[in-house]
Amino acid sequence: MSESTQAPIPPAVRISNLTKQFGFIRVLNGINLTLKQGEFLTVFGPNGAGKTTLLRILSTLTRPTSGNGTLLGYDLAQDGALVRYLIGVLTHHPLLFPTLTGYENLKFYGQMFQVQHLPDRIETLLHEVGLSEQRDQLVETFSRGMQQRLAIARALLHAPRLLLLDEPYTGLDHEGISFLTQTLKAFRAQGGTVIMTSHDFEKGLELCTKATILNDGNLAYYGDPTTLEEPFEAVYQRCVGSPSKAL
Amino acid sequence: MNLMKQIWPIVWKDLLSELRTREVVLAMCFFACLVLIIFNFAFFTGMGDTQGGDTQGILAGMLWVAFLFAGVLGLNQTFGAEKDREVLQGLLLCPVNRASIYISKVISNLLFMSIMEILILGLFAVLFRVTIWKVLPALGLIIVLGTLGFVCVGTILAAMAVNARAREILLTVILFPMIVPVIIAAVKATEKVLAGAALPEITGWLKLLVAFDLIFFLLAYGTFDFVLSE
Amino acid sequence: MAQKVRIGDTILLGLTCLTMLASLYAIFIYAPTEKTTGVVQKIFYFHLPLAFLSFFAFFLVFLASILYLYSQDVRWDIFAQSSAEIGVLFCSLVLITGAIWARPTWNVWWTWDPRLTTALILWFMYVAYLMLRKLLKPGVQTSNIASVFGIISFINVPITFFAIRMWRTIHPVVIDQSGIHISAPMVITLLLSLAAFSFLFVVLLRIRVRVEKVLRAYEELYFLLERNKKRLPS
């Protein structure tokens, strides 16, 4: 991604001192992170480290207790609706209405996101994810793999500039995995930014340009894993291995 | 003999569960108490006595109790389906204000309730031989204002209750005390109108309904964001 | 710090006991017996402060809810929950003392008097608040929801009161609670009783808040411990 010297390109993500507290527990402890556009960031960390919470804050689903963040230059707290315009989110749940057809689902989201030339866009995307034949089938009849593919169509419908993925490979078969990887590669080729949480080292490291390790709400590592001299697993072990003393 | 052996373990298990949490029995008791109280406001015009021949009072009360219970059923599903299928998050990820979700749900609920009310009103007129054509404008106004208040409060409470285990029971228990003013005003005004009163005579009650509607709509609109967010 | 807490609490507890004893003396010995209704009237000295304080408790719930939504500080949430519980307790006593007063005076256990009826609805609203908290999973969203409910409930109180009063004026209230002739010693007794119950309220609230803080901290510690235990060393 070439650095422009004319107008400053806003970073994909900039969060400063982000804290999230549930009751007396600090799930995120003053995180600072800056990510340039076009990068692919994978967030590693054990269960409960705060990965999902971080993603939820970035997708404006959760409010931080303190600290602030911007996404593509827009403030998460003030410009929440604008931020949601620019992001596509994939989670465990496909977020599809089961009593509507594939076409109707995309139409709904298309209208909510004010997508231009909606019918054509829907047809194109359905074709890309290979679900053109099922456009008039109710989503509740879809298999898991088909639902995931429609979910990808939903996430890409409004041409977002940043994708947020929460352990998207969970529960996918081989076909689904390769399809997702393909999609992410194509997305990045067009200049999109990706942030993904992952449990799986192989999948997580395959496509990423930056990696970070969250442990007990703290950023234990942030950098380019390809420049590491030791295997990433070793770094991970060091950061996470010993049970945290911070209770 | 064998039958008892099949039945008793299940009964015992249910009693044991309930003994530990006491939720169901408690909620049932609260609900029944609230029903009695609502009935008091709906059917009794004074200190525990119904005037002889005061059929309008009974009729007005019946109509609104029917609306109330049917309305609660409708409110229950406002967010229920979406929550169950985990699609609510999909709505929250759309670039719209949370308050817009509130307004759209209010409108849906209003539409559903209106359909129900029109049908029930027709049935009501037939079953109880009430001539409603003459009083329709005034009655219509009361129903509109009352339903509006009910739905404005009910929608946000439905959003709250949907996260709970016993969501239908919870919704009823938190809703009924809240809509007491609506029930009182709507039943009183309806009673008067059915007895032949003209519009100017019920302005007091109508003003109460309008105030309720306005206040709670604004309150709900302003705080809905918090109900859905973490 | 524990030392400081104990001294403050001891003083408070001492004041509570003192004023309670003083007001009990005042109620039963100092204050004159009302001419028309007799000894039963003395319930009024309990009933009124309890009513005032339960209303005040719910006002505190309202304030604490707003402050919680604004600051997201969990201590306000704890405060709101505790105040609601004490409020429900005091409100129950209001209803009970109301019934005890009504029975010998007017020969009924309950009157649909506007104030008593509003107290009944109030009771249900805050019981609903507590049920809401109990049935929802503890968390930030639940605290948010409870706070919104606390705000809505309190705003509904005056509206409900007006509605009930309008409902009653159609058929005028024959029974009137405030037709009692008040004399100076009665006022003093009343104020003393109010002070005593206010101290009691504060003591109970402080205890409840402290218990809740410990409870929540314990639950979270437990959660963290379980989570750390589950972390596999590989």
Q: Pairing mode, if any, of strands A13-22 and A25-35?
A: antiparallel
pLDDT tens for residues A65-84?
A: 888 899 988 998 888 889 99
Does residue A136 lie in a domain region?
Answer: no
Would you state the pLDDT for residue B51? 47
pLDDT tens for residues B58-77?
A: 888 999 999 999 999 999 98
Apex C135 CA angle, A20 and B68, nearest 5: 120
User: Of A172, A165, A170, A104, nearest to A144 (Cα)?
Assistant: A172
Q: Closest partner residue to A95 among B89, B97, B230, by Cβ? A: B89
Would you state the pLDDT for residue C27? 81
B87 CA: distance to closest CA in chain A (Å): 5
Would you state the pLDDT for residue C32? 74
Candidate ranges B10-24, B30-44, B76-90, B151-165; pick with highest mean pLDDT? B151-165
Letter string b/e over residues A15-25, b meaning 16 or more CB atoms within 10 A of that residue's CB: beebebbbbeb
Cβ distance B85 to A84 less than 8 Å, yes or no, reads no
Residues of B in contact with C135 (CB under 8 A): 23, 164-166, 170
Cβ distance A97 to B87 less than 8 Å, yes or no, reads yes
Residue B197 has pLDDT above 80, yes or no: no
Cβ distance B86 to A82 less than 8 Å, yes or no, reads no
Would you state the pLDDT for residue C5? 65
What whole-number percentage of chain A has pLDDT above 90? 34
Does residue A195 lie in a domain region?
Answer: yes
CA dist., res. C128 & res. C139, Å (int):
18
Query: Which residues partner with A20 through β-bridges?
Result: A28
A178 CA: distance to closest CA in chain B (Å): 25
A120 CA: distance to closest CA in chain B (Å): 21
Q: Does C198 contact chain B (CB < 8 Å)?
A: no
DSSP A10: P
Q: Does A243 contact chain C (CB < 8 Å)?
A: yes
Cβ distance C135 to B227 less than 8 Å, yes or no, reads no
Cβ distance B156 to C152 less than 8 Å, yes or no, reads yes
CA dist., res. B94 & res. A53, Å (int):
19
* Chain A residues bordering chain B (beta-carbon distance below 8 Å): 56, 59, 61-63, 81-82, 84-85, 87, 89, 91, 93, 95-99, 109, 112-113, 154
C186 CA: distance to closest CA in chain B (Å): 30
pLDDT tens for residues C166-179?
A: 887 654 444 455 55
A237 CA: distance to closest CA in chain B (Å): 32
For chain B, which chains pass the contact test of at least 3 CB pairs under 8 Å?
A, C
Does residue A139 lie in a domain region?
Answer: no
Give residue for tokens 């309930």.
B18
Q: Closest partner residue to B165 among C135, C174, C175, by Cβ? A: C135
B82 CA: distance to closest CA in chain A (Å): 8
Weakest-pLDDT range from A114-118, B131-135, C182-186? C182-186
Would you state the pLDDT for residue A245? 40
Amino acid occupying residue A36: K
DSSP A163: E
Q: Does B126 contact chain A (CB < 8 Å)?
A: no
Q: What is the pTM of this model?
A: 0.88
CA dist., res. C178 & res. C48, Å (int):
11
Residue B152 has pLDDT above 90, yes or no: yes
Would you state the pLDDT for residue B213? 96
Q: pLDDT-based confidence at B145, cuts 50/70/90?
A: very high
Number of domains in chain B: 1
Amino acid occupying residue C183: S
B78 CA: distance to closest CA in chain A (Å): 14
The Cβ of residue A27 has, within 10 Å, a number of other Cβ atoms equal to 21
Would you state the pLDDT for residue C38? 73
Helices (H), A7-86: 51-58, 80-86
Would you state the pLDDT for residue B183? 94
Top residue of A19, A57, A85, A97 to mutate, by most chain B CBs within 10 Å, is A97
Does residue A137 lie in a domain region?
Answer: no
CA dist., res. B41 & res. B187, Å (int):
8
Would you state the pLDDT for residue C180? 54
**Which residue would you say has higher pLDDT here, B167 or C176?**
B167
Q: Closest partner residue to B93 among A62, A82, A84, by Cβ? A: A84
Residues of B in contact with C170 (CB under 8 A): 45-46, 188
Residues of A in contact with B87 (CB under 8 A): 93, 95-98
What's the whole-number mean pLDDT along residues A130-157?
89
B223 CA: distance to closest CA in chain C (Å): 7
A137 CA: distance to closest CA in chain C (Å): 35
Q: Give ipTM to 2 decimals.
A: 0.89
pLDDT tens for residues C140-173?
A: 899 999 999 999 999 999 999 999 888 876 544 4
CB A116 within 8 A of CB A144: no
Q: Does A19 contact chain C (CB < 8 Å)?
A: no
CA dist., res. B126 & res. B119, Å (int):
11
**Which residue would you say has higher pLDDT here, B193 or C36?**
B193
A50 CA: distance to closest CA in chain C (Å): 13
pLDDT tens for residues A206-244?
A: 888 998 988 888 888 888 888 877 778 888 888 776 544
Would you state the pLDDT for residue C43? 84
What whole-number percentage of chain C has pLDDT above 70? 88
What whole-number percentage of chain B has pLDDT above 70? 95
Helices (H), A59-143: 80-86, 102-112, 118-129
Q: pLDDT-based confidence at B54, cuts 50/70/90?
A: low
Number of domains in chain A: 1
What is the extent of the structural domain holding A87? 13-98+160-241
Would you state the pLDDT for residue C21? 86
Residues of C in contact with B195 (CB under 8 A): none
Q: pLDDT-based confidence at C181, cuts 50/70/90?
A: low
Cβ distance A82 to B95 less than 8 Å, yes or no, reads yes
CB B190 within 8 A of CB B60: yes
Residues of A in contact with B81 (CB under 8 A): 99
Q: What element of type H or E holds A31?
A: strand A25-35
Residues of C in contact with B204 (CB under 8 A): 166
CA dist., res. A110 & res. A107, Å (int):
5
Give residue for tokens 């609490």.
C9
Does residue A6 lie in a domain region?
Answer: no
CB A233 within 8 A of CB A199: no
Query: Which residues partner with A223 through β-bridges?
Result: A211
The Cβ of residue C44 has, within 10 Å, a number of other Cβ atoms equal to 23
Would you state the pLDDT for residue C65? 97
Residues of A in contact with C221 (CB under 8 A): 247
Residue C114 has pLDDT above 50, yes or no: yes
CA separation, residue A94 to residues A3, A151, B98 (Å): 36, 5, 21
What whole-number percentage of chain B has pLDDT above 90? 48
Q: pLDDT-based confidence at B173, cuts 50/70/90?
A: very high
Residue C215 has pLDDT above 60, yes or no: yes
Cβ distance B160 to C149 less than 8 Å, yes or no, reads yes
Q: Does A37 contact chain C (CB < 8 Å)?
A: no
What's the whole-number mean pLDDT along residues B133-138?
85
Residues of B in contact with C147 (CB under 8 A): 226
CB A78 within 8 A of CB A32: no
What's the whole-number mean pLDDT along residues C97-113?
83
Q: Closest partner residue to C216 among A23, A47, A243, by Cβ? A: A23
Would you state the pLDDT for residue A5? 58
Q: For the domain that residue A209 is a member of, what is the CATH number?
A: 3.40.50.300
Q: pLDDT-based confidence at C53, cuts 50/70/90?
A: very high
Q: pLDDT-based confidence at C204, cuts 50/70/90?
A: very high
Residues of A in contact with B225 (CB under 8 A): none
Top residue of A25, A27, A240 to mutate, by most chain C CBs within 10 Å, is A25
Q: Closest partner residue to C170 among B34, B45, B163, by Cβ? A: B45
CB B188 within 8 A of CB B205: yes
CB pairs under 8 A between B and C: 122
What is the extent of the structural domain holding B186? 2-229
What's the whole-number mean pLDDT along residues B152-166?
92
DSSP states along A174-214? HHHHHHHHHHHHHHHHTT-EEEEE-S-HHHHHHH-SEEEEE
Would you state the pLDDT for residue B176? 95
Q: Does B48 contact chain A (CB < 8 Å)?
A: no
B145 token code pair: 């204002």
Does residue A155 lie in a domain region?
Answer: no
Residue B47 has pLDDT above 50, yes or no: no
CB C85 within 8 A of CB C130: yes
CA dist., res. C152 & res. B224, Å (int):
11
Does residue A114 lie in a domain region?
Answer: no
Residues of B in contact with C69 (CB under 8 A): 223, 226
Q: Does C74 contact chain B (CB < 8 Å)?
A: no
